[in-house]
């Protein structure tokens, strides 16, 4: 049975060229980048090269890139680090209500520290209105955070519009953007977005797990969350995971957003057309969402039951964010969807190793699964 992997928003298979970059770093440029000898210099130069590759993919300067262990650490560093420096301006934070759990958990921590956090809800289609975000910003607001692409329904937030409005307000609030699901799928230029802080992760773009990066606009100051070294300008201390960073750099260099957009648009179109009119099937992602993610519900069939049915036939999807560990989706709940829709939700996410045949097979098996599962009930 051929495997069909349609859970690329959770993680991606490592690209062979990316794996080779990590292997070279482990077996050839294996020195400690902080060591003052030739092997250390070789490793340091390798890190510098990876930093340039990631910066180029974001339209940033290399010195604006700090490597982290992934998106979760980068989000925490951005929010907690920014508020540690910005509390004297005010203790108010504005975020969208369906951010990744790492952002929401950081906000919960800030609330425990006495900050006020305002959560801006999306509409029933998963869209965030820039005017709603900006309306929540006052003179006490030190930070705004809005993810560029939602990780469960694929809607694209108007980050540029939010940034322009914040600039016009002249209140000095920083803007953070979780771009983990957008990186590699949308062309990202930090200057055009107008953000001060931006998060990316390696394992969403065919690099290994355990590495990510935080863009920090020149002139923006944030406080470190750990102490004990000078690595990453003191923001992320400890010996750098050089092989993982080398892999992230190579993966960033290999990004082809045009090809990704073309392929995922075809896959999403094929999926929607193949399931159109199926009784009991509804799409939770709007048609204008990023096509790499399609959230749907076989209403009345719990997600875990359908996922098990699909897995037995070699097809892998998820019920939402992998970080939620099977809990009911806060994203779909924030959209006001009924419980029976949320409990039946499946997230189908495409990657560069998928084919149209994969999508056709998924459609066939899902349709059959809806019949078989309903028929098996007493």
Catalytically annotated residues: 323
Q: Whole-angstrom Cα distance, residue 54 to residue 198?
A: 12
Rg of the chain over Cα atoms, rounded to whole angstroms, equals 21
> Among candidates 105, 50, 121, which has minimal Cα distance to 73?
105
User: Which 8-state DSSP code applies to residue 32?
Assistant: -
Q: Whole-angstrom Cα distance, residue 67 to residue 74?
A: 8
Contact 321, 293 (CB under 8 A): no
Residues 294, 295, 297: CA angle, nearest 5 degrees? 135
The dihedrals phi and psi of 145, each to the nearest 5 degrees, come to -130, 125
| Pairing of β 293-298 and β 281-283 | antiparallel
The dihedrals phi and psi of 291, each to the nearest 5 degrees, come to -70, -10
Contact 195, 176 (CB under 8 A): yes
> Which neighbouring-strand residues pair with 4?
315
Contact 242, 29 (CB under 8 A): yes
Residues with Cβ within 8 Å of residue 134, at least 6 apart in sequence: 162, 165, 166, 169
User: Which 8-state DSSP code applies to residue 64?
Assistant: G
Chain position carrying tokens 């020149």? 218
Q: Whole-angstrom Cα distance, residue 270 to residue 250?
A: 31
């Amino acid at each position: 049975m051929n495997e069909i992997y349609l859970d690329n928003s959770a993680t991606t298979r490592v690209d062979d060229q990316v794996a080779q970059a990590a292997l070279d770093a482990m077996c050839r440029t294996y020195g400690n980048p902080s060591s003052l000898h030739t092997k250390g210099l070789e490793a340091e130069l390798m890190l510098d090269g990876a930093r340039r590759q990631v910066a180029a993919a974001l339209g940033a300067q290399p010195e604006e890139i700090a490597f982290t262990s992934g998106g979760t650490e980068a989000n925490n560093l951005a929010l907690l680090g920014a508020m540690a420096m910005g509390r004297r301006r005010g203790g108010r934070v504005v975020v969208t209500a369906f951010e990744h759990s790492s952002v929401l958990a950081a906000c919960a921590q800030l609330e425990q520290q006495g900050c006020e956090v305002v959560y801006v809800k999306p509409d029933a289609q998963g869209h965030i209105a820039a005017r709603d975000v900006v309306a929540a910003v006052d003179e006490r607001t030190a930070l705004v955070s809005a993810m560029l692409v939602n990780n469960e329904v694929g809607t694209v937030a108007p980050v540029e519009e939010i940034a322009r409005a914040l600039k016009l307000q002249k209140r000095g609030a920083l803007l953070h953007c979780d771009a983990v699901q957008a990186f590699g799928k949308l062309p990202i230029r930090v200057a055009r977005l107008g953000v001060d802080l931006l998060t990316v992760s390696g394992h969403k773009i065919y690099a290994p797990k355990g590495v990510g990066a935080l863009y920090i606009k020149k002139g923006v100051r944030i406080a470190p969350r750990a102490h004990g070294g000078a690595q990453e300008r003191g923001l992320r201390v400890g010996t750098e995971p050089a092989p993982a960073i080398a892999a992230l750099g190579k993966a960033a260099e290999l990004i082809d957003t045009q090809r990704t957009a073309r392929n995922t648009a075809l896959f999403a179109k094929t999926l929607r057309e193949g399931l159109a009119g199926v009784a009991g099937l509804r799409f939770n992602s709007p048609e204008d969402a990023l096509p790499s993610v399609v959230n749907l519900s076989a209403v009345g069939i719990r997600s875990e039951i359908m996922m098990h049915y699909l897995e037995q036939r070699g097809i892998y999807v998820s019920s939402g964010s992998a970080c939620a560990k099977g809990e009911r989706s806060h994203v779909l709940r924030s959209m006001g969807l009924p419980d029976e829709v949320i409990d039946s939700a499946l997230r189908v996410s495409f990657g560069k190793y998928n084919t149209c045949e994969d999508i056709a097979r998924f459609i066939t098996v899902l349709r059959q699964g809806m019949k078989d599962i309903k028929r098996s009930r007493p």
